[in-house]
Amino acid sequence: MRARDNHQANYCRGAKIHYLEELIHPRSVAIVGASANPTAKAYDYLKGMIEFDFPGSLYPINPKASEILGLKAFPSVRDVPGTIDYAISCIPAEAAPQLVEDCASKGAKVLQLYTAGFSETGAEEGRRLEEELVRRARRNGMRIIGPNCIGVHYPEGRLAFGRAKFSLDSGEVGCLVQSGGHAWTLLSQGSLRGIRFSKVFSFGNASDLNESDFLEYLAEDPKTRVITAYIEGVKSGQRFLEAIAKAAAAKPVIIVKGGKTEAGMRAVASHTGSLAGSDLIWDTILRQTGAIRVYNIDELIDTILPFVYFPPMKGHNVGIVGGGGGASVQAADDCETKGLIVPHLAPEIRQRLEEFTPLAGSSLRNPVDAVEIWSAQNFLHILEIIAAWDKIDFLLAHAIIELTAQWKGKSVLEGMIDSLLATKGRLTKPMAVILQSFGTPKGLAMLYDIQKRFVEARIPVYPTTARAANAISKFVAYHNRIAST
């Protein structure tokens, strides 16, 4: 069943539906300023919607073209026959207020503006234009997404905000992100790391629909299991407080707050015209509501992974298996620095490992440095022994791609990868893998391929033990918190 039919069916059953639900299920979309120039963003929107197989009508609007990308183009919105539910603007800011009227005349429920040049410029003219935009939308019962944003990516509903190089599959992670660049980065990088998204809202200046609207929606959305956010400022503090408290009580909310320093706050004002607000207050709010604070998109992606791949987990005890004495010391330090515990291997576990491991060049404590005996069979055996130990809650397996290939041979590296993949269904505890590359072309190509195989096997991959430990410690803290409340 198509997402839209689903949506209609819900309506018919009389379920209470969030107002955003109707907005993101348009039957027709107009792309205003559509262009046949492949470097134009308006071309990108149209091409993205076509490639995404949008099931409704698509109307390119351009006064100078009769056809764009095989679709009939119209000189203006008013020339479109029938209604327009959803409009995307790529025309200059000055023309935006009139566009609201044009769209309203065709019954549009929402106008999303990629168009920039509003309040974020800091100029009086931009501020005035944005106010006028919202005033006219309100008068016409229309909602605004943006301006100065890339809009909505919604795989199930086939809404695209451009030609995607990332996965178009639908998933369980919802996202509200004030920066279009960050939205694109999160989707692209997250996609390679195995994250799939339910809905991604990029909302720029948040002139009308704002962070609280999207947060409330995602909190209610049954398709969204984890909420992630990049927020630069809030429009109404009280409403946001309630929205985030409610969202964080319903599901994990992982948030990056942009603009925590003086210069960051200035950049925020200049980016989306937002008031960043005191970082201390943000910290307090996020802590009190139980939202998980992270500090950049990399850390956001890292932190999503256990929420997607691991079962709920309250224990801090990690078993570390990998190659290299220095790397093992680093892994142990990284884990305990982040509040995880690396328990000393019990004598009976050590004994079981000693049965097939030489002492020289290995370390049979925890971390287990087993590079001397790496082979598909041995490595898997070690992982099974450690995972079966009741003092361990989860495993980290680490390797440096080029180091292993150069020192131990490519077949040892491959054996190790195969054995890690073979753990699927054989380990009683969750496992994350840390794969590092020196950055050589061969190493990077191998990293990409290997990571792909792990993603397919639903095993999360991190680039450093520090980043894995940081993410998993936040995950464990979350589950301890909700267990105690």
Q: Binders of a second copy among 88-117, rule CB under 8 A?
A: 92-93, 115-117
- 33 contacts 89 by C-beta, under 8 angstroms: yes
Would you list the DSSP string of 285-305? HHHHHTPEEESSHHHHHHHHH
Considering the complex, what minimum distance in angstroms separates the CB of residue 306 from a second copy? 19
Nearest to 453 by CA among 420, 431, 427: 420
Binding of a second copy by 259 (CB under 8 A): yes
List the beta strands (DSSP E) in 168-317: 170-177, 197-202, 226-231, 253-257, 292-294
Considering the complex, what minimum distance in angstroms separates the CB of residue 378 from a second copy? 16
**From 39, 238, 484, 485, residue interacting with a second copy (rule: CB under 8 A):** 39
* Binding track, positions 46-85, relative to a second copy; x by CB under 8 A: ----------------------------------------
Binding of a second copy by 440 (CB under 8 A): yes
* Contact window for a second copy (CB under 8 A) among 171-179, 215-223, 246-254, 304-312: 171-179
List the beta strands (DSSP E) in 298-351: 318-322
Q: Are strands 363-364 and 368-369 parallel, antiparallel or unpaired?
A: antiparallel
237 vs 409 by CB, closer to a second copy: 409
| Residues of this chain, 226-255, that bind a second copy according to CB under 8 A | 230, 232
| Residues of this chain, 287-316, that bind a second copy according to CB under 8 A | 295-298
Compute the distance between CA of residue 256 and CA of residue 271 in angstroms, rounded to an integer: 16
66 vs 296 by CB, closer to a second copy: 296
* Binding track, positions 262-281, relative to a second copy; x by CB under 8 A: xxx-xxx-xxx---------
Binding of a second copy by 261 (CB under 8 A): yes
Binding of a second copy by 407 (CB under 8 A): yes
Binding of a second copy by 163 (CB under 8 A): yes
Binding of a second copy by 121 (CB under 8 A): yes
CA 408 to chain centre: 36
* Contact window for a second copy (CB under 8 A) among 39-47, 138-146, 219-227, 239-247: 39-47
Considering the complex, what minimum distance in angstroms separates the CB of residue 302 from a second copy? 13
| Local structure of 184: helix, strand or coil | helix
Q: Are strands 57-61 and 28-32 parallel, antiparallel or unpaired?
A: parallel
| Local structure of 52: helix, strand or coil | coil
Task: Tell me the two tokens of residue 309.
Answer: 């791949």
- 217 contacts 20 by C-beta, under 8 angstroms: yes
366 vs 419 by CB, closer to a second copy: 366
Q: Are strands 170-177 and 226-231 parallel, antiparallel or unpaired?
A: parallel
Binding of a second copy by 326 (CB under 8 A): yes
| Residues of this chain, 174-193, that bind a second copy according to CB under 8 A | 177-182, 184-185, 188-189, 192-193
# residues near a second copy by CB under 8 A: 90
Considering the complex, what minimum distance in angstroms separates the CB of residue 330 from a second copy? 6
Binding of a second copy by 369 (CB under 8 A): yes
249 vs 445 by CB, closer to a second copy: 445
**From 344, 424, 426, 481, residue interacting with a second copy (rule: CB under 8 A):** 344
Binding of a second copy by 335 (CB under 8 A): yes
Compute the distance between CA of residue 301 and CA of residue 195 in angstroms, rounded to an integer: 8
Per-residue CA distances from 384 to 321, 380, 429, 430, 454 (Å): 11, 6, 9, 11, 18
**From 238, 355, 439, 485, residue interacting with a second copy (rule: CB under 8 A):** 439
**From 42, 46, 308, 327, residue interacting with a second copy (rule: CB under 8 A):** 327
444 vs 482 by CB, closer to a second copy: 444
The angle, 0 to 180 degrees and rounded to 10, between the axes of the packed helices 325-337 and 465-484 is 30
| Local structure of 354: helix, strand or coil | helix
**From 333, 384, 414, 418, residue interacting with a second copy (rule: CB under 8 A):** 333
Considering the complex, what minimum distance in angstroms separates the CB of residue 449 from a second copy? 9
98 vs 140 by CB, closer to a second copy: 98
- 56 contacts 31 by C-beta, under 8 angstroms: no
141 vs 409 by CB, closer to a second copy: 409
Q: Which residues of 210-220 are buried (b: 16+ CB within 10 A; e: fewer)?
A: bbbbbbbbbbb
Binding of a second copy by 438 (CB under 8 A): yes
Per-residue CA distances from 224 to 209, 215, 300 (Å): 19, 11, 16
Per-residue CA distances from 438 to 118, 180, 297, 336, 454 (Å): 44, 31, 22, 25, 19
Task: Tell me the two tokens of residue 375.
Answer: 């082979």
